[in-house]
Structure 1
Amino acid sequence: MNSVLKIKNYLKKNNIEACLISKNNTFLNEFVQDRDNFLLKITNFTGSLGYAIIYKNKQNLYVDGRYTQQAKIQTKNFIIKDISLLKNDIGKITNYNKKLLVDPKTFTFSFFGKFNYKNLHFFNSNKNLKKKEKLFYLSKNYSGQDSFEKLKKVNKKLTLKKNEVFLITSPENIAWLSNIRSYDKKFSKIFNCIALVKNKRIYIYSDQKINLKLNKIMFKKNSEFKKNLLNIKKIYTDKKYLSLYYHNFFIKNKIKIKFINDPIDQFKSIKNNTEILNLKISHIFDGIAYCKFLYWLKNNNLKNTSEIECQKKIEFFKKKNKFYLGPSFETISATEKNASIIHYNAKDYKKANLKKKHLYLLDSGSQYLYGTTDMTRSFSLGKQNQFRKKIYTLVLKSHIAVSVANLKNMTGKKLDQIARKNLIKFGYNYNHGTGHGVGYLSNVHEAPPSISKLYNKKFLVNQVMSNEPGYYKENDFGIRLENLIFKNHKNKFENLTLVPFEQEMILKSMLTKNEKNWINHYHGEVYEKIHKFLSSREKAFLKKNCLKIN
């Protein structure tokens, strides 16, 4: 069933009301290869979050605010609906004794929590093709903790009894626990696997041939997994990571399940001192590459310079660093109206060239042995009108408001409101969260924490997150300013990102004295840490871009 028409024919033939499709693979990863992305095959939508419901006589695509405009451009004959309406539409099917077709391997058990399971019918959308990967162990110099030390923390939290296991179905969490990464995996550097914690050891099941010899870690074939579970008395696992497929297997084989919150979620979100120090190093690496790129961009005559060429150029500068392992996500290189598409990918659209007087947005991230980065800047390629400068300044004020916030008793929801205040005062806003957690040589989007209306928890010391307010005028321009930050022991944020803001876009009259001081201090830090690695011309260029504003 690789088309809307074939799915509809199957529904009619089998008297099924609708088919629900996600972009997930069987490991529920954020980053999925095209070959494993059934949603892409059916809808042509390339976004990182979305669902489709195919009915017998219509089809809906559900996305959040980041992707509304993109979904309208990329899909044909689909009704675009807000993702908040998805569960209600599913309920109209399953809770009214109508059949819903799903692939149980591509949905979590918790996703269907309030629905009638009896009305779910199953099919296989994913072939899960195997690919050999080169794996490596992240030594203590980089990770700050050996895997057996991390295992002690997890065992202390769980206190498993004899013949009980902790099942980890999140490859991201297994990567943190084991310190194993993949050189070959695109973006996340996480290899696909599942794991059991049993008898104070980690048993990792995968299709990879692993030659690593590690203390307390045993490697097994995927084919052995189900057989090894049949004699287990009780499984502890997190339902937000457990696929419906494995849940059904446990129920069928009468294996007792106890749902818990995976303690690794919090463990991995709190970076240790080695990781924080290494992240500072990785952002110096990034800062060097971005400043070289900015010098190239500003001194380019822009004759036939495309968005994709800019994307390749930033990769060229990053690859000069021997510790660089690749991008942490697909770089967003977007000029003028394309930047109003929040998660724009130049490879999915008609070729666009940068021109004088354009406003160009670059959202780019890196994976180094020293950690994961994510940065966004909007660059002026010539004279801009007052409205664009006003918006840029308001977004910068919002960015500063987050950076200087007192974090004592501060929640992600409250900080998100503080970030938007400057924009909302003028009737503007943005349709995405203000910030997301960031992993360490892992997923660039990590939870917890987040700065959003959905996060009611306080921030913890050494949690790393993004600070990225923005504004997007459809078919005109987009502005986003993003730094990575972390909470220190003084209840304040510290900046990690080292890239100057666009001084010619700042309306100084709109800034307070404290905001000017913050910008001057930040630019002083950028220049101090980056200039020594630049050529004389690049250094003079950076100095000019970091001059104090009065």
Structure 2
Amino acid sequence: MFQSFDATSSPAQGPARLAHLRALLAADGLAGFLVPRADAHQGEYVAERDGRLQWLTGFTGSAGFAIVLPEIAGVFIDGRYRVQVKHQVDLGHFTPVPWPEVKAGEWLREHLTEGVVGFDPWLHTADEIERLETALKGSGVSLRPVENYVDRIWPDQPAPPQGRAFAHPEALAGRSSAEKRAELAEGLRAEGQRAAVITLPDSLCWLLNLRGADVPRNPVLHGFAVLHDDGRVTLFADPAKFDDELRAELGEHVTLRPPEAFVPALGTLQGPVRVDRMTAPLAVTLELQDAGIAVAAGDDPCRLPKACKTPAEIAGTREAHLRDGAAVVEFLAWLDGRAPEGGLTEIDVVKALEGYRRATNSLHDISFDTICGAGPNGAIMHYRVTEGSNRAVGQDELLLVDSGAQYLDGTTDITRTVAVGDPGGEARECYTAVLQGLIAISRVRWPKGLAGRDLDGLARYNLWLMGLDYDHGTGHGVGAFLSVHEGPQRLSRISEVPLEPGMILSNEPGYYREGAFGIRLENLIVVEEAPALGDNRAQLCFETVTFVPFDRRLILTERLAPGERAWVDAYHVEVREKIGPRVSGAVRDWLEAATAPL
């Protein structure tokens, strides 16, 4: 339900581990070592075995990396973690580096005049290493693939995960694995490619209509796969994870082999072999090249088809959100009555919310560790409450709760910021501007072919007018009973992937004031064809699938334009009509008041 700080990753352990790592590097003639928050599958969420960055530094964020040099150890974190990192690492030994503003290459050139920096080729993509090598050209610094030095000094490193694999019903997937494999194989043949290596866990789960339990909160299976140009798949995963029934369901065209057979099998492939330079570990390319096999750089063939959901997946997502919306409304009604009494802590809130979801009797798991930040903790964008950080929910402050659930028919992710007492006029002004950003994304229509970067600024406009902003993207892709963070679609300044019908994204603008409060509002949205309008140009729009009220007490109605007020009122009518029949009588009364017209 909540994370507790384990001594194996506390800030106090960092200096000794850092010293041990440096001694080992010096003995082997290396000037540095890269420590990413990544595993061989390049997923955002990693198993305990792969938590090297956390083990070494204490930093628990979902993105970032460290570069260890003889005199400095930089921990590179983006805007989401600038506050969090200060509390989680020993600042006397680890130096936070604002990334991507400061690039790894320029930082290395500044802090190292010459020497070899090692990296584990299974934990970095070809694209990542190529960019870093380009940035280091002309310097005295070079990169070298080496064994993993953190693994060498981690005496009690956990074993690889052993979660059971299980089938994902075709009725929920909307397409059989055979159909998917045949379509992608046809694409390989059209490109003159004999095979594609698939390394992303959610890609191989999508392709084979499988799910697993190898990563916390995400129903994915760890493994690698080779898709051949005739539609056959060789799956490299621990056979112990598959029972006889599942093996039979895979069918004769899917061959299951153990993970240790993957590297030898690469050397037997006929080229060209497609490898995604953005997601596959560099080691895959190196193994193929060493075997003299032609490598064709290209996108993971599963990523875009997986992102464009089938009608069955969208229908399941809608139902999952109605079920989840009812659970969240029950929770908010409880919170509204309980918080003013005092004595409530962040952990109490997290446990209560998960309890309402479990009461649906449909919860597979939560989709990520709930973010529950009271007062100043809300300004830590990806804050995870621990026994050590647990804060009482105070009076006259904001409470930010970002949470989600995994159901067999869909994945949810929702954020609501609520008032406990009177948080003051400034908090309302900021809340209203954030809400206006969410409304702008919800209402927008745009010409086909535009990407997330073309829409991201709409969510920030009213904050910009106030001289404010937020240091994260406006939205991420979301899977269908898969990863809660899914690529390649995003609402972000850096996203160049055109939005297409069927893509599910989050819509989550925010504002964070360090030491004071945090505000984020989040609904999930689905890209769809826009109804005919004007001169009937081909346009797209969003369907909102999250139905939970916003806190009317925090909305400065006079700041909203007529169209914005109309949107909120219409949305609240939908919430009342869709969720009201799914909640208990007393909660229905609360919902009536919470969704009253502005």
TM tier, shorter chain?
over 0.9
| CA distance in 1 between partners of 2:85 and 2:341 (Å) | 30
Matches within 5 A, 1:326-341: 326-341=365-380
Name 1:201's counterpart in structure 2.
232
Deviations 1:60-83 (A, max 9, x none): 110100011111121112211112
* Alignment counterpart, residue 51 of structure 1, candidates 48, 51, 65: 65
Q: Which residue of 2 aligns with 1:395?
A: 434
Deviations 1:508-535 (A, max 9, x none): 1101111111001100111111111211
Inter-partner Cα distance in structure 2 for 1:444 and 1:526? 23
Summarize the Cα distance change of 1:474–1:38 in structure 2 as closer, same or farther, 3 Å threshold. same
Pick closer, same or farther for the CA change 1:128–1:100 going to 2, 3 Å.
Answer: farther
> Residues of 2 paired with 1:349 and 1:238: CA distance?
41
1:103 is matched with 120
Alignment partner of 1:23 is 2:23: no
Given that 2:105 and 2:132 are in contact with CA atoms closer than 8 Å, whether structure 1 keeps it comes out as: no
Q: Does 1:545 pair with 2:584?
A: no
What is the CA distance between 1:323 and its match in structure 2? 2.5
3-state SS in 2 of match to 1:3: helix
Contact 2:441 2:455 in 1 (8 A): yes
Distance 2:510 2:192 in 1: 52
**1:184, 1:38 → 2: CA distance?**
17
Check the 8 A contact 1:327/1:366 in 2, yes or no.
yes
- What corresponds to 2:315 in structure 1? 277
Aligned-residue offset at 1:264: 1.3
**Residue of structure 2 in register with 1:220 after alignment:** 257
Partner of 2:26: 12
1:308 and 1:35 mapped to 2: Cα distance? Answer: 26
Q: Give 1:467's aligned residue.
A: 507
**What is the root-mean-square deviation of aligned Cα atoms in Å?**
2.1
Match for residue 510 of structure 1 among 532, 554, 559: 559
CA distance in 2, matches of 1:493, 1:230: 45
* Distance of 2:37 and 2:508 partners within structure 1: 25
Quickly say closer, same or farther: Cα 1:90–1:167, change in 2 above 3 A: farther
Is the Cα–Cα contact under 8 Å of residues 270 and 463 in structure 1 kept in the other structure? yes
| Equivalent position of 2:53 in the other structure | 39
Q: Is the alpha carbon distance of 1:92 and 1:348 closer, same or farther for their aligned partners in structure 2, counting shifts above 3 Å?
A: farther
Choose the corresponding residue for 1:323, options 362, 375, 400.
362
Equivalent of 1:249 in 287, 290, 297: 287
Alpha carbons of structure 1 residues 162 and 433: separation in structure 2 relative to 1, 3 Å = closer
Tell me how far 1:253 sits from its aligned partner. Answer: 2.5
Aligned partner (choices 410, 413, 432) of residue 374 of structure 1: 413
State the secondary structure of the residue aligned to 2:236: strand
Separation in 1 of the partners of 2:581 and 2:419?
25
Number of paired residues?
A: 549
The residue type paired with residue 178 of structure 1 is L
Residues in 1 aligned to 2:479 and 2:547: alpha-carbon distance in whole angstroms: 18
Residues 212-240 of structure 1: CA deviation (Å, up to 9, x unaligned): 12233221111222333322221222111
Among 105, 113, 116, which residue is 2:130 paired with? Answer: 113
TM-score normalised over the length of structure 2: 0.88
Give the aligned residue type for 1:509: E
TM-score w.r.t. structure 1 length? 0.95
Answer yes or no: is 1:355 the counterpart of 2:394: yes
- 2: CA distance, partners of 1:296 / 1:284: 18
* Stretch deviating more after TM superposition (296-305 or 499-508): 296-305
1:478 aligns with 2:494: no
Find the aligned partners of 1:483 and 1:537 in 2 and give their Cα distance. 25
Q: Is 1:186 the counterpart of 2:216 in the alignment?
A: yes
Letter of the aligned partner of 1:512 in structure 2? A
Which amino acid is 1:229 matched to? L
1:90 positional shift: 6.3
**Aligned CA distance change for structure 1 residues 7 and 86 (closer, same or farther; 3 Å):** farther
Selected match of 1:141 from 171, 196, 208: 171
- Give the stretch that moved more between structures: 450-459 or 372-381: 450-459
Tell me which residue corresponds to 2:424. 385
The CA distance in 1 between the partners of 2:104 and 2:190, in whole Å, is 35
Q: Percent identity?
A: 29
Deviation by residue 1:416-448 (Cα, 9 ceiling, x = unmatched): 111111110111111111111111111111112
Is the alpha carbon distance of 1:25 and 1:262 closer, same or farther for their aligned partners in structure 2, counting shifts above 3 Å? Answer: closer
Structure 1: segments with no counterpart, 5+ residues: none
1:449 to 465, 477, 489: 489
The answer to whether the 8 A contact 1:93-1:99 is kept is no
How do 1:150-161 and structure 2 match up within 5 A? 150-159=180-189
Partner SS, residue 122 of structure 2: helix
What does residue 547 of structure 2 align with? 498
Letter in 2 for 1:149: E
Partner of 1:106: helix, strand, or coil? coil
Is 2:468 the partner of 1:428? yes
Comparing 216-225 and 281-290, the one that deviates more? 216-225
Residue 72 in 1 paired to residue 86 in 2?
yes
CA 1:167–1:346: 2 relative to 1, 3 Å: same
Following superposition, the deviation at residue 191 of structure 1 comes to 0.8
Distance 1:94 1:110, change over 3 A: farther
Aligned 1:295-306 pairs, distance under 5 A: 295-300=333-338, 301-306=340-345
Q: 1:523 to 1:115 in 2, by over 3 A?
A: closer
152 and 259 in structure 1: CA distance in 2 versus 1, 3 angstrom threshold: same
Deviation at 1:349, TM superposition (A): 4.4
> For 1:132 and 1:175, how far apart are their aligned partners in 2?
16
Check 1:177–1:504 CA distance in 2 against 1; reply closer, same or farther (3 A cut): same
- Which of 448, 455, 468 in structure 2 is aligned with 1:415? 455
Q: Which moved more, 1:210-219 or 1:19-28?
A: 210-219
Q: Confirm or deny: 8 A CA contact 2:42 2:280 kept in the other structure.
A: no
Could you tell me how far apart the structure 2 residues matched to 1:227 and 1:69 are? Answer: 45
1:92 is aligned to 2:103: no
1:95–1:115: 8 Å Cα contact kept in structure 2? no
1:184 is displaced (CA, Å) by: 6.2
Classify the secondary structure of the residue corresponding to 1:367: strand
CA contact (8 A) 2:400 2:418 kept: yes
Report the AA paired with residue 95 of structure 2: I
